[in-house]
Amino acid sequence: MSLGMGLPFARPGRSALTLAAVVLGVTTVTFATGLATTMTRFGEAGRDAFQVTVYASNFNNGKELQPEHAERELHSLLAELPGATEVTARASVDVRLVGSAHPVILEGRRGDRTQLDSVLTAGRWPRGAGEVVAGSAFLRQNGVRVGDRVSLEKGGRAEKVLVVGEFMESNARVVVGGWTALTALAPDERPIAYHVALSDGTDPNAYARAARAADSGITPDVRDANAVTQTIIGSATALTVMLTVVASLGVFNTVVLNTRDRRRDLGMLKSIGMTPRQVTVMTVTSMAVLGALGSLLGIPLGVAGYQLVIPRMVDAVDITLPAYMTDVWRAPALAGLALAGVVIAVLGAFVPARRAGRLTIAEVLRSE
């Protein structure tokens, strides 16, 4: 007796329901995989730029304390502490964009890594005194493009700057330049924070304690993991697991019903010598075929859902993502997803298939 007697093992109507369950599961797995990959890359972007932020003030019993060291001395002090490899000072000042009613914050950076953890999406980072980069939201709100010149003003001082790049930033008020661009408009401005990159193996908390002991007027803060990103990834993973279980239960239900309907056929197969293992393999294989078909249908649907949802999520927070964050559909990932439907089908079919394989001829005859 050939396996063709059992294929398709499910009746047409039930096969359609099983296929729909598998397609739903594969679609969800595909979408969630793409979302989790993008959010992981988003959360990790620039995370290795620095590990500790040292704020140039401290509050003690409601009273604000200032650093004991001058700004240049404090910069050097932080760089000399054990484990420090890079120190970047950051200051910001409110300025006015000529021709716009929207407020603007000019952020100046000075030190080893002026881009900090920012991610460039177009153009380049500033190289000269009259150059800045702007966030995606700023460019859209003010009708500015990379390559345009804009004028910034503060307190009677004016500075014309060239927008040389766009970086990933949702705050529509922020533009970033070098220290010279900042001091041209606000000569007396002082750093509000110092960002410190540490060598491999250095304990950020130990560095923070050393910095605090060196100057009581500063507030070191150790950079933690991105909680929002972790929440989104965790939610996507939980949703994937739940819908995979639901899809597997749909397959389970189909196989249970079909083994009951095919008791006579199973009894005949066993009477001519088919072993319980062969019955199990036949049953699981018939569902695996539906699982493979479900992968072929579900993967394109999941990719389409990703391409539909992610741009709208990004637009909602008014940022532009670099290409590498959304370039998630590579051959290894797709090859793994191609097995998702088969895995869902096999998981759902295995238990009732084993029960069907253990069915004795006597039990079949008793039920007739």
- The residue among 207, 222, 237 that closes a domain is 222
Residue 118 sits in the same domain as residue 244: no
Across 231-292, where does the E strand assignment appear?
none
- Please calculate the CA angle 266-269-270 and round it to the nearest 5 degrees: 85
Residue 268 sits in the same domain as residue 206: no
Residue 10 sits in the same domain as residue 133: no
Residue 27 sits in the same domain as residue 147: no
Please report which confidence band the pLDDT of residue 360 belongs to, taking 50, 70 and 90 as the band edges.
low
pLDDT (0 to 100) of residue 6: 42
Across the chain, where does the E strand assignment appear?
52-55, 58-60, 63-65, 84-97, 103-111, 120-123, 131-135, 149-154, 157-167, 174-178, 193-198, 219-222
345-358 tens-digit pLDDT:
888 777 777 776 67
pLDDT (0 to 100) of residue 211: 94
229-249 tens-digit pLDDT:
677 777 777 877 887 787 777
Please report which confidence band the pLDDT of residue 55 belongs to, taking 50, 70 and 90 as the band edges.
very high
| Amino acid at the residue 208 | A
CA dist 196 and 78 (Å) reads 8
Please report which confidence band the pLDDT of residue 364 belongs to, taking 50, 70 and 90 as the band edges.
low
* DSSP summary character for residue 51: S
Average pLDDT of the residues in 47-62: 84
Residue 204 sits in the same domain as residue 82: yes
Maximum mean pLDDT: which of 7-11, 154-158, 267-271, 274-278 = 154-158
Range of the domain at 283: 3-45+227-367
Average pLDDT of the residues in 286-312: 89
Residue 217 sits in the same domain as residue 246: no
Terminal-residue alpha carbon distance, the chain: 21
Q: How many domains does the chain have?
A: 2
pLDDT (0 to 100) of residue 64: 82
Please report which confidence band the pLDDT of residue 263 belongs to, taking 50, 70 and 90 as the band edges.
low
Residue 352 sits in the same domain as residue 280: yes
151-205 tens-digit pLDDT:
999 988 999 999 999 998 888 899 999 999 899 999 989 999 999 999 999 999 9
Residue 17 sits in the same domain as residue 122: no
CA dist 246 and 58 (Å) reads 53
CA nearest 184: which of 112, 114, 106?
106
- Please calculate the CA angle 147-150-152 and round it to the nearest 5 degrees: 145
pTM for the structure as a whole: 0.71
**Tokens 């075929």 label which residue?**
289
Residue 354 sits in the same domain as residue 244: yes
Residue 320 sits in the same domain as residue 281: yes
pLDDT (0 to 100) of residue 266: 66
Mean pLDDT of the chain: 83
pLDDT (0 to 100) of residue 114: 84
The yes-or-no verdict on residue 276 having pLDDT over 80 is no
- The residue among 196, 222, 248 that closes a domain is 222
- The residue among 164, 192, 222 that closes a domain is 222
Residue 78 sits in the same domain as residue 181: yes
Percentage of the chain beyond pLDDT 70 is 87
The CATH code of the domain that includes 68 is: 2.40.40.20
CA dist 93 and 361 (Å) reads 85
CA dist 279 and 358 (Å) reads 9
The answer to whether residues 69 and 95 touch, using CB atoms and an 8 Å cutoff, is: no
pLDDT (0 to 100) of residue 207: 95
Please report which confidence band the pLDDT of residue 7 belongs to, taking 50, 70 and 90 as the band edges.
very low
Average pLDDT of the residues in 114-120: 84
